[in-house]
Structure 1
Amino acid sequence: MAGVVIIGAGPGIGQAVARRFAREGMPVGLIARSDHTLRSAADAVAGEVVTCRADSTDQAGLSAALDEVARAHGVPDALVYNAAIIQADAPGELSVRGHMDAWAVNVVGALNAAAHVAPAMAARGHGTILITGGMPEPKPQYVSLSLGKAGVRTLVTLLDQEYGPAGVHVASVTVAGPVAPGTDFDPDDIAEHYWRLHTQPRGQWTHEALHAAP
């Protein structure tokens, strides 16, 4: 089993997904910007773990981190992109640079990670790429995030068109609320969507899972 790689391995969804996949005996690769985050995430996961520090907006650094995990565990069975800039900003409030910075994390980092890993998955004939989504309805109080999550949906479609025919399942998990333990948006409950998508038979693939309050 080649394992799972999680980009954006902070507390909450990232660590919950890592624990969920590790519970199935899968090796785990964790990628985050800080050593502190990586240490905390590794401590939270039982099993074989490789950690690499990289910023999702640094294409060369991210590719090097993905290569390092692949050297340890092989081409991953699953890639999870969980990095995002979550901030409140109204129309016209954010600068061009601010929008570019948010877009780079929310969408382009996912694109670069997928484009780096998916060809090897496709050559092997199977793999899963999962991206954390949100904002099922755009909100003017969260312009950059609404744009970014709309971009995630389009990115999933593009990646599916490119790599789906070769056996790579691409999907997003749309989280429609603030993540917090013990609530309707408990990260451990949300992590179940990632595992379910990863284990879906090819003939039953779906490309978005929505986690919303009952």
Structure 2
Amino acid sequence: MTKTNSPHSSRRDNSPNSPAKLSGKVAVVTGGGNGIGREIARLLAAQGAKVAIGDRDGEAARNSAQALAGTLLGVDLDVTSARSYAAFLDTVEAKFGAIDILVNNAGVMWVGSFDEESEAAAEQQIAVNLLGVIRGVKLVAPGMVARGSGHIITVASASSILTTPGEASYSASKHGVLGYLKAVREELHRSPVQISVIMPAVVDTALAAGTGTGASKLLAPETIAAAVLRTIERPRFEVSIPGYLGPVVRAVNILPAALRDGLMRRLVPNQVRQVDRGARADYESQFGDHA
């Protein structure tokens, strides 16, 4: 479903990007039916981009495309399936043209003790969070390189650089994403294609329901979306949210092990102890039973 709304129906947008920067650009947002992805799609469309929302919940993708102001398309997308991803991209390119911006946002998270996690939960996190990103990059980046322009932005997590008890497989997937993108960025260093990774602390979405925030405050999806737009305007590779997080982690990591571990235990939430299982019941039903 493609829908174009009058600009008079859009909410006022206070992002730092000029409309001319994104006007007419084709942007793809995976996992865009709800939460962070939906807000990213909203801001991109408000800046004049033609935005394709992909989500495994195709109805949510189409509903968001219909509800938001601008030129948007909602399409079913399972990032764990090469066939689904290729069909999604074919649909987008047939409607809008070549893709200028890919936002890898789709993600899932199971929370609890590592030895209670089911095989299905571990496999799904790796399949969506890591292999989904790899698949998107492989399918989209070559065309961008050939055209001489493009930007791939991945919404990862602070778990890419932190150790978070209770999120072992999730952390593994996000560490993997950062490592993968570092390697791809180096391979493309002679290309004008930009690679960026956004690493937020805990965000107020269904994925993080019932989890602790540690020393950082709970972030709003709008904050992450605004960071994505700023990164398009002024490309950077690693973007941590809050901004002090990356420098603090780098500083702490040079300390002696005992001091480093003690500080991290004070700053980073232990989700094994803090998780509210009841608050996560609906979200985690997608993973099936525990091991």
**Is contact 2:150-2:194 (8 Å) kept?**
yes
Q: Does the residue aligned with 2:240 lie in a helix, a strand or coil?
A: strand
Match of 1:170 among 185, 189, 195: 195
1:139-168 Cα distance to aligned partner (Å, 9 max, x none): 121111111111111121122123342111
Aligned: 1:87 with 2:110: yes
Look up the match of 1:99: 122
Look up the match of 2:172: 147
Pair member with larger Rg: 2
Unaligned runs of 5+ in 1: none
**Is contact 1:19-1:44 (8 Å) kept?**
no
Look up the match of 2:258: none
Go from structure 1 to structure 2 and tell me whether the alpha carbon gap of 1:163 and 1:52 turns closer, same or farther (over 3 Å shift).
Answer: farther
Q: Does the residue aligned with 1:166 lie in a helix, a strand or coil?
A: coil
Q: Percent identity?
A: 28
Match of 1:187 among 221, 241, 250: 221
For residue 64 of structure 1, report the CA deviation from its aligned partner.
1.1
Matches within 5 A, 1:1-214: 1-134=24-157, 135=159, 136-179=161-204, 184-200=218-234, 205-212=235-242
The structure with more strand, counted as a fraction of residues: 1
**Is contact 1:89-1:144 (8 Å) kept?**
no
Aligned AA for 1:65? F
Q: Does the residue aligned with 1:165 lie in a helix, a strand or coil?
A: coil
Q: Does the residue aligned with 1:92 lie in a helix, a strand or coil?
A: helix
**Is contact 1:118-1:163 (8 Å) kept?**
no
RMSD: 1.8
**Is contact 1:126-1:167 (8 Å) kept?**
yes
| CA distance in structure 2 between the partners assigned to 1:103 and 1:185 by the alignment | 24
Q: Does the residue aligned with 1:50 lie in a helix, a strand or coil?
A: strand
**Is contact 2:33-2:53 (8 Å) kept?**
no
Unaligned runs of 5+ in 2: 1-23, 206-216, 245-291
| CA distance in structure 2 between the partners assigned to 1:41 and 1:76 by the alignment | 20
For residue 73 of structure 1, report the CA deviation from its aligned partner.
1.4
Aligned AA for 1:113? G
**Is contact 2:63-2:74 (8 Å) kept?**
no
For residue 193 of structure 1, report the CA deviation from its aligned partner.
1.1
Aligned AA for 1:188? E
| CA distance in structure 2 between the partners assigned to 1:95 and 1:86 by the alignment | 12
When the two structures are aligned, how many residues end up with a matched partner? 208
For residue 108 of structure 1, report the CA deviation from its aligned partner.
0.4
For residue 129 of structure 1, report the CA deviation from its aligned partner.
0.5
Go from structure 1 to structure 2 and tell me whether the alpha carbon gap of 1:67 and 1:2 turns closer, same or farther (over 3 Å shift).
Answer: farther
**Is contact 1:42-1:51 (8 Å) kept?**
yes
Aligned AA for 1:59? A
Q: What is the TM-score when the length of structure 2 is the normalising length? A: 0.67
Aligned AA for 2:153? L
| CA distance in structure 2 between the partners assigned to 1:45 and 1:173 by the alignment | 23
Worse overlay, 50-59 or 93-102: 93-102
Worse overlay, 94-103 or 114-123: 94-103
| CA distance in structure 1 between the partners assigned to 2:96 and 2:109 by the alignment | 31
Structure 1 segments of 4 or more deviating over 3 A? Answer: 95-98
| CA distance in structure 2 between the partners assigned to 1:129 and 1:50 by the alignment | 19
1:124-143 Cα distance to aligned partner (Å, 9 max, x none): 11111011111241212111
